[in-house]
Structure 1
Amino acid sequence: MAHKLALIGFGGVGQGFVNILREKKVKLSEYHQIDLKVVSISDLFKGSLYHPDGLCLDKVIKAVQETGSLNAYPDEEGLIRNWSSKETIEQTNADSIIEMTFTDVQTGQPAIDHCQWAFLHKRNVVMTNKGPVALAYESLSNLARQNGVQWLFEGAVMSGTPALRLPQTTLTGNDITEIKGILNGTTNYMLMRMEEGLNYEEALKEAQGLGYAEADPTADVEGHDVLYKILILANVVLGVPLKREEVACQGIASISLADLDRAKELGKRWKLIGSLKQTEAGVMATVKPEMVDLDDPLAGVTGAMNAITYTCDLSGPITLVGAGAGIKETGFAVLIDLIAISRHKKGMEG
């Protein structure tokens, strides 16, 4: 039986995910016995489509590529247009909602509302948004559980690099005493270029030119992006309901070329590190620039790459390195969450 999907938000990641489905459909069916069918797409700017039997993804991509809008999708019997995101979530026949809207990280909206509506209508949610997981993990997890549905969000920490699935599945049985990582590619790239001689402003301008940094880079350079990821890791991996105000957060604007020279003399390298450490007083959480020893695996992570080290009582420290952003990578994160939901469903049915 097909696993029916409704996509809320259809920007780069949504389109990338649809292209993955087009490329992988046969392999998913043959190797995983999974049939993923998109029945709804709703986007604030591009319009919305719903067909209970499924949308033609080739026609969807053609319409958006040629006109920038879903309105160019051809009319057919049973097709419904112009549903809002709320109407889509509540009235679609989809099993799972894929939430990919732009979210205000101060409030977690509109994605928190999207999750609540979906759970109350017995639909799973897969999302790439940090906001709801960082700010409303406990309440949304409880609501999903009460309604017998799943809420997965692998892409919220390191995009397609499985920073959550690794500790939750592969490292299970360990006590994790510390988590620390490079969780923002923009600042990692900037620090690398500053080490090579650029000043802060030059490094930022270059990062913006390459598309690593937004026109307003505040979330990256002041450490807010990493802060939200640390909140997710604390809540999801350590089971600690950490709040924003409990994390000491400092960005990279204060790092001078003299600081970089000093690190080089000491055989170290500056990195913006998000850290969670188990102490007798509880979990200590920080986001700040740190000088890392050159033999630390995190020191060798260059460019816009991300990395995370889990310090475990049985397996010792394990470091995962990979892309922390990207359209295809984030689309992949959605895919692995959907495969997990499909396997869980089959296990329940079996």
Structure 2
Amino acid sequence: MTHKLAFIGFGTVGQGLAEILRDKGDFLRRSLGFEAQVVAVSDMLKGAVYHPDGLDVAALLQAVQTTGKLDAYPDTPGLQRGWDSFKTIRDTNADTIVEVSYTDIKTGQPAIDHCRAAFESGKNVVMSNKGPVALAYKELSALAEANGVRWGFEGTVMSGTPAIRMPLTSLAGNDIREVRGILNGTTNYILTKMEEGLTYEAALKQAQELGYAEADPTADVEGYDALGKVVILANVVMNAPLTKDQVACRGISHLTPADIAQAKAEGKRWKLIGRVKKEGDRVVASVGPEMVPLTDPLAGIMGATNAITYECDLAGPITLVGAGAGRTETGFSLLIDLINIQRGNI
């Protein structure tokens, strides 16, 4: 059965998924029996189009990549234009809403309200937006369950690397006592370059030039991006209802070449570590720079790569390494959520 999709937002991540559907649609249909049809796109800057019989994905991509607007999408009989996000969610015939609007980690909006509207309309949601999961996991997961729909958010922690689904499925049956990881590629790149001899300021400038860091790098370098991911891991993997205000957080902007030299002299390496740990009957979480022994698998993770270690009572420590960002990688995270919804899997 064809899986009808409505995109809320059509920036880098949304286009990443659309490109996968355009380029691998036949492969997905033949190998997995998965067939997706995009029926709507609503983007507050690019415009909106809806057709109940489906849109031409290649034409959508061409329109936004050549003109920046959906106005250039060709008119066809029955095409609707100009629907806002909530009308698109409630009134289209989509089975699943692909929520890829901008991330606001402070409020989670408008994505939290998009999720509410979708679930109340009997529609699934897949997303890579951290805000709703970090700030409203308990409420939204209960609302999805009450309405008999699914909520996929694999991409919120490590993009297409299965940092959420792996512990819930492949590590099921373990008591996971601790989760710790390098959850931000920008800071890991900066620390790698500082170890090569650059100052923090020079390493940050290089990261910005390469597109790893934003013009305002605060969310990355002060640990706030990793903090959101730690809250998600606490709630989803450790089943602990922590909020962001309960997570101690410190970034890397204070580190100096002398700090790097000290770690090297001790056989260690600085990493920004996000950590969730069981201590007795409670769960504590933190984000901060740590000197990690070179014998630790996380110490060998260099550049913009991410990694996460699960301390399991049965399987022992399991470390997962992969990309934590990227257009195609995050597009894949949405695809695997869609595939698992079709399969009825977690």
Q: TM-score, normalised by structure 1?
A: 0.98
C-alpha distance after superposition, 1:309-336 (max 9, x if no partner): 0000000000000000000000000000
User: Could you say which residue in structure 2 is the equivalent of 1:20?
Assistant: 20
Aligned AA (2:92): T
| 1:195 Cα deviation from its structure 2 partner | 0.9
User: Could you say which residue in structure 2 is the equivalent of 1:269?
Assistant: 269
User: Could you say which residue in structure 1 is the equivalent of 2:326?
Assistant: 326
Residues of 2 paired with 1:245 and 1:51: CA distance? 43
User: Could you say which residue in structure 2 is the equivalent of 1:193?
Assistant: 193
User: Could you say which residue in structure 2 is the equivalent of 1:40?
Assistant: 40
| 1:85 Cα deviation from its structure 2 partner | 0.4
| 1:39 Cα deviation from its structure 2 partner | 0.2
C-alpha distance after superposition, 1:205-231 (max 9, x if no partner): 111010000111010010000100000
Which has the higher mean CA deviation after the structures are superposed, 58-67 or 132-141?
58-67
Aligned AA (1:42): S
SS of residue matched to 2:344: helix
Residues of 2 paired with 1:7 and 1:251: CA distance? 34
SS of residue matched to 1:290: strand
| 1:62 Cα deviation from its structure 2 partner | 1.5
| 1:31 Cα deviation from its structure 2 partner | 1.2
Runs of at least 4 residues off by over 6 Å = none
Which has the higher mean CA deviation after the structures are superposed, 28-37 or 322-331?
28-37
> Superposition pairs for residues 99-114 of structure 1, below 5 Å?
99-114=99-114
Aligned AA (1:168): L
Residues of 2 paired with 1:118 and 1:30: CA distance? 30
> Superposition pairs for residues 142-161 of structure 1, below 5 Å?
142-161=142-161
User: Could you say which residue in structure 2 is the equivalent of 1:141?
Assistant: 141
SS of residue matched to 1:179: strand
Aligned AA (1:12): T
The number of equivalent residue pairs is: 346
Residues of 1 paired with 2:66 and 2:285: CA distance? 47
Aligned-pair identity in percent equals: 62
Residues of 2 paired with 1:308 and 1:3: CA distance? 32
| 1:256 Cα deviation from its structure 2 partner | 1.3
> Superposition pairs for residues 298-337 of structure 1, below 5 Å?
298-337=298-337
> Superposition pairs for residues 19-98 of structure 1, below 5 Å?
19-98=19-98
Aligned AA (2:284): M
C-alpha distance after superposition, 1:287-312 (max 9, x if no partner): 01000010111000000000000000
Aligned AA (1:255): L
Residues of 2 paired with 1:130 and 1:65: CA distance? 26
Q: Where does the alignment leave 5 or more consecutive residues of structure 1 unmatched? A: none
Aligned AA (2:201): E
Residues of 1 paired with 2:119 and 2:287: CA distance? 32
Residues of 1 paired with 2:250 and 2:35: CA distance? 45
C-alpha distance after superposition, 1:132-179 (max 9, x if no partner): 000000000011011000001000000010000110100000000110
Residues of 2 paired with 1:157 and 1:106: CA distance? 17
Residues of 2 paired with 1:63 and 1:95: CA distance? 24
Are 1:183 and 2:186 matched, yes or no?
Answer: no
Residues of 2 paired with 1:280 and 1:63: CA distance? 56
Aligned AA (2:60): V
| 1:27 Cα deviation from its structure 2 partner | 1.2
- Tell me how large the CA RMSD over aligned residues is: 1.0
| 1:281 Cα deviation from its structure 2 partner | 4.9
Residues of 1 paired with 2:143 and 2:297: CA distance? 39
| 1:232 Cα deviation from its structure 2 partner | 0.1
| 1:22 Cα deviation from its structure 2 partner | 0.9
| 1:59 Cα deviation from its structure 2 partner | 1.1
| 1:103 Cα deviation from its structure 2 partner | 2.1
Aligned AA (1:248): A
Residues of 2 paired with 1:151 and 1:82: CA distance? 26
Residues of 2 paired with 1:240 and 1:316: CA distance? 21
User: Could you say which residue in structure 1 is the equivalent of 2:343?
Assistant: 343
Aligned AA (2:12): G
Are 1:286 and 2:301 matched, yes or no?
Answer: no
C-alpha distance after superposition, 1:261-289 (max 9, x if no partner): 01001000000000111111511211010
Residues of 2 paired with 1:161 and 1:47: CA distance? 31
Q: Where does the alignment leave 5 or more consecutive residues of structure 2 unmatched? A: none
Aligned AA (1:202): A
Residues of 1 paired with 2:280 and 2:41: CA distance? 48
